[in-house]
Amino acid sequence: MYTTIVLLVFIAFLFLYNLSKKNDWSDKPVWASYFEKKRVLSTVLSAILTLAAFILLVLDNGMVSGTFSFMIILMAMGCLIVLLFPFRYVSVKQMAALFLLFIVFEQLIF
């Protein structure tokens, strides 16, 4: 559950980061170029993903704890994207593999 919520916030923040004028992403994939041209769609999708993550956290943890958890996850994903994304350390395939690995760990532990 938490892995999916973190992934939703990560994707939402990445959509908004893609719209930034200061973003120096020279080798953009096709999907990133498409969403850069469709600014309204990218913003709406980002808002929907963020709201979905917030609702899932509130339903799972309660109002106050869910809101606090959401703020922590939002700040963490924002820092992660802004600090590590320009260096291109992680590709989409590596992110998908990490997501699947963390889903397996989450299912085994919880």
Could you read off the pLDDT of 75-105 as tens digits, one per residue? 999 898 888 877 777 777 888 898 999 999 9
Q: What is the pLDDT of residue 93?
A: 83
Determine the pLDDT at residue 105: 92
CB-neighbour burial class of residue 58 (10 A; exposed 0-12, middle 13-18, buried 19+): middle
Q: Residue 8 — very low, low, confident or very high, per pLDDT cuts 50/70/90?
A: very high
Give the pLDDT confidence of 20-60 residue by residue, as tens digits.
Answer: 877 777 777 788 788 888 999 999 999 999 999 999 999 99
Distance CA 16, CA 59 (A): 25
Q: Decide if pLDDT at 64 tops 80.
A: yes
